[in-house]
Amino acid sequence: MLPINLILYPAELYKWYSQYSSDSNKLAERALKWNKLTSDVVPRFQNYQTPVIMLRKQTPKEAVCQVFENVNTGGVSLTVFELLTASFAADNFELRRDWEAKRERLTNTNNVFNKILSDISSTDLLQAISLLKTYNRRKQNSISAVSCKRKDILKLTLDDYLAWGDKAVDGFIQAAKFLQEQNIFSSRDLPYGSQLIPLSAIFVELGGKAHNLNVRNKIARWYWCGVLGKMYDGGSETRFARDLPELIDWINGGAEPSTIRDGNFAADRLYSLRTRNSAAYKGLHVLLMKQGGRDFISGVPIDIQTYYGDQIDIHHIFQRVYCEKNGIDKKMYDSIVNKTPI
């Protein structure tokens, strides 16, 4: 059997052929096979052209991403995390290993509140770091933009990551504890996973001030306006960058954030909320528990012990069979209006 790698080395290939053709009894047969191989197969290997795109060292990382996306036919994504992993490796820093350690801390099952963070990703962390870096840069230079878009994340240096990484993790943990106060007990009930990103940055910036009751009430108002007002549907990076400085400013005596001013919930939306695909659907489910809703079976208020002990979920109040038998419109009986935590 011919080792394929010899095709690219004529001297080694000839040496192999000399041994291959040494059996005089099979010389004619092997000569035919050899001629066919050298005329049909070998040239294809020797003349095969591999496409190469040369990028200068100065090429911006976002341009590298764009080039990869344009030529990527295998469906393998090149994320900002992968690019930063390669970039930080030049400084002998293993970003993936560090992220795994941070993720272990964020999702530690020994802490009940960490169940809210079970779906957190490396990109979520990098976006929070970018928000913190650019927000603090703007404190020094008012014309600097607060941002966590892809191009901004790719500008993060190892020093930026080391300066803000652990603080961002602390921010996510504080955000999860706050959400637990709002009666969100698992990632399944989290209306917008993306809203965790600015929320974590807010807790980092506020520090000890975030424990003040009036401050937490303001954060809660902002949070629920974002949920019920559909403010985090679709692309959210611009909303992240706006909410962080606006909410901090409001807490410090400034104007209300645009998320509160622009948030609107029309009552007729209630009948369109039918599944967990809707953030408002999950939000109303959580608010029912927060406002003292009692379990239909036991009659006790639903707290974290009840939630996990009784495996609380969203169920119909009047069952489908009853509603269909009594001619109740499916639009009504399948909506959040006819559902409650049970």
Summarised one tens digit per residue, pLDDT across range 268-324 is 899 999 998 999 999 999 999 999 888 777 888 888 888 887 888 889 999 999 999
C-alpha dihedral (86, 92, 94, 98), degrees to nearest 10: -130
| CA separation, residue 319 to residues 10, 285, 296 (Å) | 79, 17, 14
**Alpha-carbon gap, residue 111 to 119, rounded angstroms:** 15
Residue type at 283 in one-letter notation: G
Decide if pLDDT at 204 tops 70. Answer: yes
Give the model confidence (pLDDT) of 231-267 as tens digits. Answer: 998 778 999 999 999 999 999 999 999 999 999 998 8
User: How buried is 18 (Cβ within 10 angstroms: 0-12 exposed, 13-18 middle, 19+ buried)?
Assistant: exposed
Tokens of 50: 């591999």
Q: How confident is the model at residue 26 (pLDDT cuts 50, 70, 90)?
A: confident
Task: Report the run of H or E that residue 103 belongs to, with start and end.
Answer: helix 95-106
Domain-by-domain residue ranges, the chain?
A: 4-46, 61-265, 269-341
Give the lowest-confidence range in 13-17, 64-68, 221-225: 64-68
pLDDT for res 316: 94
pLDDT for res 21: 83
pLDDT for res 67: 76
Decide if pLDDT at 7 tops 90. Answer: no
pLDDT for res 39: 87
Q: How confident is the model at residue 56 (pLDDT cuts 50, 70, 90)?
A: confident
pLDDT for res 69: 66
Q: How confident is the model at residue 113 (pLDDT cuts 50, 70, 90)?
A: confident
Give the model confidence (pLDDT) of 122-178 as tens digits. Answer: 999 999 999 999 999 999 888 889 999 999 999 999 999 999 999 999 999 999 999
Please state whether the predicted TM-score (pTM) of the whole model is above 0.85: no
pLDDT for res 74: 64
Mean pLDDT taken over the chain: 90
**CB of 272 within 8 A of CB of 235?**
no
Residues 198-219, mean pLDDT to the nearest whole number? 97
Give the model confidence (pLDDT) of 60-96 as tens digits. Answer: 777 776 777 677 666 666 788 988 998 898 889 999 9
Decide if pLDDT at 31 tops 90. Answer: no
pLDDT for res 46: 82
